[in-house]
Structure 1
């Protein structure tokens, strides 16, 4: 059995924990509404006003004039994320982070020490609450796809296990948008053929899905049957580290996408440093509203874990590929591969003083932003890029 553990409104919940006076007040973590910022996370009070992540902060303020907007503290969130992962590793070494706030856990070798998957899931959920004062939603199932759907179905503060014998009963009633990659545009295409639920999609033909979604149609058909053979791969064994986000509403604003790319880059860079890895290959993934998906990559002259270097490369890959006038973007992803360890770092820094300075600046920036907030320090090179 696989566990998918997803923190509830992670950034916003951390801010509420650290500033109890914010509880029950509409609040988001996001960019400046006067500088085309976007919402990175919204607490559950703000969500009652229709506010969600990826929404322009200015629009969120229009929906709720009393909305509190806090600048993100990415380095601090990464530190809390590591504390959560330390709890995961008490129970299994097979932990695959998807982002700072969610991960898959394979607990097949843990039952003799800690009990079955249900018991392990409840213990982890309890320890996160007791030690970190945060809530997590837990999904348990026979594979990664089902576990993730289960954790989403129980939010917030949820706990849901999908019994292998009840997979189709669990899936069939769900809307097709619960399948990975099916957004509003894809759902409308399916609805034209009378397909509204996963059960109806499962009863359709693979040929129809291939006609509508291309090669992804076969994957959707497999998911509708509850099939997913992907293993849980820990960071240190992965060939790449990546983060991606699917937007609740298609984004047509290039500045908003730049802001999201920066957020994804920071998360990937934090994971690289945490695992003492540096990568040479940067990849940006864009899925448009019409379901066309493109990936663009660039190989760097030397490996890096420096946020600024990764961000500059990602931006160069993103901007030329945004023909947004006729279609929006529903998903954006950022990944790094071509790993090297830290062995060559000292030689690099000795031979390149300018790069050594940038690395030290990254370290100092992380510390200052973690302690005093993201607004406390901004590198001049970022001013033209960030949507905050």
Structure 2
């Protein structure tokens, strides 16, 4: 059976979400970036007006400001993006249960079984765009095709707020004249190798000898040959079958280097609190904790510790992280960045083999009640409504609202 695959890609997602709270900036060039004072001065996202100035993701703020002195900068709030991503995918599921997120702002949809209910692939794409725009105030672009790869490339073809249909009849006219660098999964290094053999366009790639491509690029060569010729048959997974979260982490680069245990405890307390709250939100617990430490010379060490029982409590994650740092880091050495990650996850409702000591100890149950109460207070009054005393008024750049990003 012929398939109808959609690839939905939000337009300037981070910037668009931030502009919902700043409508006065809708006609201005806007970029989302980390705080330069905290050494996070990288462009994370930009709106269409900023893009016209040649501003690109991952360049430094000073480079962007040089291109556009009037560029307005907004801080990121990743928890907002996660919330909107869930809302957007909920809308997709009104049309099909075959929804496969590719990233926080992109998803594939297989609407083959929905055509009799909602119309053609293009009609469904246009309905999705209008629904998201009306309900959430955001725009997206949609590619419609007979496979996932061409649908993905279609969503990039007519941005912003557009629908592009790439069919069996027109894909050679639309895609084959493009630079081979535009082929999905072709990076700069691969494009250079292809260019040196005379392969300049996607059409050149499609007409190449598959054996030669495999000799040049290995398995990737055969895969790219199939993609360019429309031979991708990979399925769209059901939303309910998407891969489970394997880890939950949070890290930050500090305004100044951490010096000594007092600084470390402030940082670890805040990061552990964020990791624990996310675990509870996802209804998961961790059997292990991993800590990544980066020094001022950008050297990184990574250490982990297994726990005697799974946890989603900040105090237990914090305690494990402190033990890891104490045993693996010279406390007199400065720390530029810390990341704390909960690993070896399980559903919090899974049965646990508790020791007699655990059964006799009520302190863990009380701690969980306290931390869930904190979750409820923050949900009602905001993330800054309640925090740990040692984190208040710190000078290392930990802000509880910004720190709760993902």
Per the normalisation by structure 1, the TM-score is: 0.69
Query: Secondary structure of 1:40's match?
Result: strand
Specify the alignment match of 1:26 in structure 2.
Answer: 29
**Alignment partners' CA distance in 2, 1:281 and 1:198:** 46
The 2-side partners of 1:216 and 1:297 are apart by: 33
Shift in Å, 1:371? 9.1
Note if contact 1:74-1:369 (Cα within 8 Å) is conserved in structure 2. Answer: no
The Cα shift of 1:90 comes to: 1.2
Matches within 5 A, 1:135-284: 135-241=139-245, 276=283
Return 5+ residue gaps in structure 2 as ranges. Answer: 254-274, 291-301, 325-340, 386-390
Matches of 2:303 and 2:175 in 1, distance apart? 36
Asked if 1:72 corresponds to 2:76, the answer is: yes
- Aligned mates of 1:143, 1:304 — CA distance in 2: 42
CA contact (8 A) 2:277 2:375 kept: no
Secondary structure at 2:225's aligned position in 1? helix
Cα pair 1:33 1:58 within 8 Å, conserved: no
Which structure: larger Rg? Answer: 2
CA RMSD of aligned residues (A): 4.5
Structure 2: distance between partners of 1:7 and 1:59: 25
What's 1:13 paired with?
Answer: 16
SS at match of 1:139: strand
The two structures have a TM-score, normalised by structure 2, of: 0.66
Deviation at 1:355, TM superposition (A): 7.8
TM-superposed CA distance for 1:137, in Å, is 0.4
Aligned length: 328
Q: Is residue 141–residue 147 contact of structure 1 (8 Å, CA) maintained in 2? A: yes
Shift of 1:365: 6.5
Distance in 2 separating the partners of 1:269 and 1:217: 43
* Structure 2: distance between partners of 1:210 and 1:382: 49
Is the 2:12–2:48 Cα contact (8 Å) retained in structure 1?
Answer: yes
CA gap of 1:28–1:359, structure 2 versus 1, over 3 A, is farther
Q: Which has the higher contact order (CA 8 A, sep 6+)?
A: 1
Gaps of 5+ in 1: 244-253, 256-267, 284-295, 317-334, 373-377
In 2, Cα distance between equivalents of 1:141 and 1:270: 40
The answer to whether the aligner puts 1:42 opposite 2:40 as a matched pair is: no
